[in-house]
Homo-oligomer: A and B are copies of this chain.
Amino acid sequence: MRGDASRALDALRNAPTMFFVVFAASSKTSTIPGITAAGPTPEATLYTPTLDIEYLVTGRPLTMDVIPVTPEGIPTPAVVTRASLQLVNDARIVVVDAGVYREPLIPHVKLPSRRVGGRIDVEPALPPGTASKLYEEAKLLAHMLVGKAGNATTLVVGETIPAGTTTAMCIMEGLGFNAAGRVSSSMPGNPHNLKQQVLRAALERSGLRRGDNPFKVIEEVGDPLHVSVAGFVAGAVEKGATVILAGGTQMASVLAILSRLGIDTSRVAVATTRWLIDDPSSDLPGLIAEIAPDTPLIAVDISFHDAPYKGLRAYEEGYVKEGVGMGGAMLAALVRGGRAPREVVEAAYSEYARLVGNDSKARG
């Protein structure tokens, strides 16, 4: 734990109302081969956000009869998120479409200006004017959910967007922060070189200059998701709510957007996993220290080393690490659900077992 997290933890424990909000979007940047493991093939990564939120809410993917997995067959972190949230009695779940490739078959909030992000090495992420619209729409959504009941509300906000660490890095770089080589990856071998090729291509294509408008930066080298999360946070803190950004280095890009827009983030904390903090190939503490040094960073100390399933033991080897709000969901189970760490671990194992059924390949 870094920074003074006590206020955020108190709010997570005691606020009368807690929402777990997941923003979902696709970016064609995820189809660049080798850039992300959030799907079995590059094209399949476009479906991952839809499948993630369908599974999170209903316990099974609906659009296709497959759980999103890495090429190695390691399942989405939504498994851990879902198991954890079931340990919190009053977690109210909202999923937000900021631009998914395929409409999810569950009730979901649409942002009117949602759209799939472009492949930023060869095209802009969003048409002009879209980033500020997404920001304002997500801000309005926060106002609707929070009302004037700010300090009665805690929002835990996660995300699902394959290649999100790449676009997050490009957003941070475009906004003038040093992010190259510091973002995480869903793979043990973080493809920093490939990500930085994308960054160089995107910067060259767009001709961005230091000090360009933050929304222009996002429209050129970003994606629809991070700016939407930033707008949501801005709307929530404006009403006095506490926000826990549940994610890894992508959430640093949300802080970067808020910082450049001059939004007070004193009611914002970041919650993540130990796997992400232990990742030698990324530097979330350093990014936060550079971007928003007063922001508390909370890492949940959970281990899957004794998991009876190799898909979960892989988390100890550097696969997955974060996503779909996994760290924040585990934190909610511990703090708001009042559960012991072992209960969270067992719940994840049980959920995984339910999911893979009697598939013997999963064991061993």
Query: Of B89, B96, B107, B149, which one neighbours A112 at CB under 8 angstroms?
Result: B107
Q: Name the distance in Å between A189's Cβ and chain B's nearest Cβ.
A: 37
A44 at the interface (CB under 8 A from B): no
B89→A147 contact, CB < 8 A: yes
A238 at the interface (CB under 8 A from B): no
A106→B148 contact, CB < 8 A: no
A103 at the interface (CB under 8 A from B): yes
CA distance A304 to B287 in the complex (A): 58
Q: Provide the residues of chain B in CB contact with A64, threshold 8 Å.
A: none
A223 at the interface (CB under 8 A from B): no
A144 at the interface (CB under 8 A from B): yes
CA distance A109 to B140 in the complex (A): 13
Query: Of B90, B106, B141, B148, which one neighbours A90 at CB under 8 angstroms?
Result: B148
A148→B89 contact, CB < 8 A: yes
A152 at the interface (CB under 8 A from B): yes
A107→B141 contact, CB < 8 A: yes
Say yes or no: A140-B107 contact (C-beta < 8 A), given A16-B16, A17-B17: yes
A108→B110 contact, CB < 8 A: yes
Q: Provide the residues of chain B in CB contact with A108, threshold 8 Å.
A: 109-110
Q: Provide the residues of chain B in CB contact with A90, threshold 8 Å.
A: 147-149, 152
Q: Name the distance in Å between A354's Cβ and chain B's nearest Cβ.
A: 18
User: Which of A94, A138, A144 counts the most chain B CB atoms within 10 A?
Assistant: A144
Q: Provide the residues of chain B in CB contact with A92, threshold 8 Å.
A: 17, 144-147, 149
Say yes or no: A140-B106 contact (C-beta < 8 A), given A17-B16, A148-B89: yes
CA distance A109 to B145 in the complex (A): 12
A105 at the interface (CB under 8 A from B): yes
User: Which chain B residue shows the least CB distance to A148?
Assistant: B89
A175 at the interface (CB under 8 A from B): no
User: Which of A88, A89, A90, A97 counts the most chain B CB atoms within 10 A?
Assistant: A90
Query: Of B93, B106, B109, B140, which one neighbours A57 at CB under 8 angstroms?
Result: B140
CA distance A305 to B91 in the complex (A): 45
CA distance A110 to B90 in the complex (A): 23
CA distance A138 to B106 in the complex (A): 9
Q: Provide the residues of chain B in CB contact with A148, threshold 8 Å.
A: 89-90
CA distance A95 to B140 in the complex (A): 12
User: Which chain B residue shows the least CB distance to A58?
Assistant: B140
Q: Provide the residues of chain B in CB contact with A91, threshold 8 Å.
A: 147
A94→B149 contact, CB < 8 A: no
User: Which chain B residue shows the least CB distance to A95?
Assistant: B144
Q: Name the distance in Å between A57's Cβ and chain B's nearest Cβ.
A: 6
Task: Give chain A's interface residues, CB within 8 Å of chain B.
Answer: 16-17, 57-58, 88-97, 103-112, 137-138, 140-141, 144-149, 152
Given contacts A16-B16, A58-B140, 20 further A-B pairs with CB under 8 A are A16-B152, A17-B17, A89-B148, A92-B144, A92-B147, A93-B145, A93-B147, A94-B144, A97-B110, A104-B112, A106-B112, A106-B137, A107-B110, A107-B137, A107-B138, A107-B140, A108-B109, A108-B110, A109-B109, A110-B110
Report 15 cross-chain contacts, Cβ distance below 8 Å, ordered by A residue: A17-B92, A89-B147, A89-B148, A90-B149, A92-B144, A92-B147, A92-B149, A103-B112, A106-B112, A107-B109, A107-B111, A107-B140, A108-B109, A108-B110, A109-B110
